[in-house]
């Protein structure tokens, strides 16, 4: 039996997307602050402490949940949207924060758990737990771009994440390995092994502009990759606004050795 609310949805747009959630009476969707776009009159909006999953965890449990969310750079609070009408469907829409794609994830079909980058979560059916995932390996935590802490989404309902540019999905077989720029990882299912490797060759490290490290994702499982990490986009805009820089120069290469953004 499903524990999470069963919601219907429709994604609108191409580069600047939004997701419209259709709620039956008494159904609820949870969302990050700042993602709301518009809603029908019969929906009640409420701000809750913690991850908004509705678990009976008491005040201390909610405090721990909120504290974990702070570690991922998110707010202490989540917003819930509940259809409080009698026998009438209502809709609420959430907008992507920047150009890219919204990815719907059916957690039931994905083994009940997905690990994703810290700022990718957009909204989910009530009951989905939004927590943190510690990277157990020292190298992954220090050099993985995302640090020791990533977000995890657990449950059996629908969740929606957002990423920049175009989204590629890859299904990795047992032992199959994919080497990825650390900033391009959006999410992966819980059985995928995440690690970090050094870039080989001195010239690659100094002049390649891709950083000293890249991520390795080893199957089995599914991974989602983004073509334009927001950190890369922001760094590009900043470099041009400050007069630009010489791509491939010695100073440019040295300056990018550790950032992994490939500028």
Phi, psi dihedral angles at 218 (to 5 degrees): -115, 130
Strand partners, 259: none
Q: Could you tell me which residue, 99 or 242, shows the higher pLDDT?
A: 99
Strand partners, 124: 30, 159
- What pLDDT is recorded for position 162? 94
Residues 6+ apart with CB under 8 A from 3: 127, 155, 156, 157
Find, among 49, 54, 100, the residue nearest to 78 by Cα: 49
pTM reported for the whole predicted model: 0.77
Res. 86: pLDDT tops 70: yes
Residue-averaged pLDDT of the chain: 79
**pLDDT tens string 19-67:** 999 999 999 999 988 899 999 999 999 988 766 565 545 555 555 555 5
Maximum pairwise Cα distance, the chain: 67
Q: Could you tell me which residue, 230 or 257, shows the higher pLDDT?
A: 230
- For residues 84 and 76, what is the distance between their CA atoms, to the nearest angstrom? 25
Residue 194 burial by Cβ neighbours in a 10 Å radius (0-12, 13-18, 19+)? buried
Architecture per CATH, 8-255: 4-Layer Sandwich (3.60)
171: its two tokens: 């299904």
57: its two tokens: 């965890």
**pLDDT tens string 151-197:** 899 999 999 999 999 999 999 999 999 999 888 999 999 999 988 77
- What pLDDT is recorded for position 178? 94
Residue with tokens 């041009």: 240
At 115 the three-state DSSP class reads strand
């Amino acid at each position: 039996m499903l524990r999470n609310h069963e919601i219907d949805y429709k994604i609108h747009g191409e580069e600047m997307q939004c997701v419209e959630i259709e709620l039956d009476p008494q159904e609820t969707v949870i969302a990050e602050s700042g993602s709301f776009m518009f809603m029908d009159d019969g929906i009640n909006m409420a701000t809750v402490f913690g991850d908004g999953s509705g678990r009976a965890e008491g005040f201390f449990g909610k405090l721990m949940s909120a504290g974990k969310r702070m570690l991922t750079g998110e707010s202490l609070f989540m917003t819930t949207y509940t259809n409080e009408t009698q026998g009438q469907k209502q809709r609420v829409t959430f907008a992507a924060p920047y150009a890219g794609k919204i990815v719907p994830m059916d957690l039931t079909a994905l083994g009940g758990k997905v690990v994703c980058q810290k700022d990718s979560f957009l909204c989910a059916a009530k009951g989905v737990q939004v927590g943190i995932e510690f990277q157990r390996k020292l190298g992954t935590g220090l050099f993985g771009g995302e640090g020791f802490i990533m977000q995890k989404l657990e449950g059996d309902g629908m969740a929606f994440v957002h990423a920049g540019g175009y989204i590629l999905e890859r299904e990795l077989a047992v032992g199959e390995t994919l080497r990825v720029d650390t900033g391009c990882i959006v999410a992966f299912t819980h059985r995928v092994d995440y690690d970090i490797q050094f870039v080989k060759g001195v010239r690659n490290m100094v002049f390649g502009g891709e950083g000293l490290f890249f991520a390795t994702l080893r199957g089995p499982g599914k991974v989602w990759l983004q073509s334009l990490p927001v950190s890369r986009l922001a760094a590009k805009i900043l470099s041009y606004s400050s007069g630009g820089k010489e791509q491939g120069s010695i100073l440019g290469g040295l300056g990018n050795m550790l950032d992994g953004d490939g500028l």
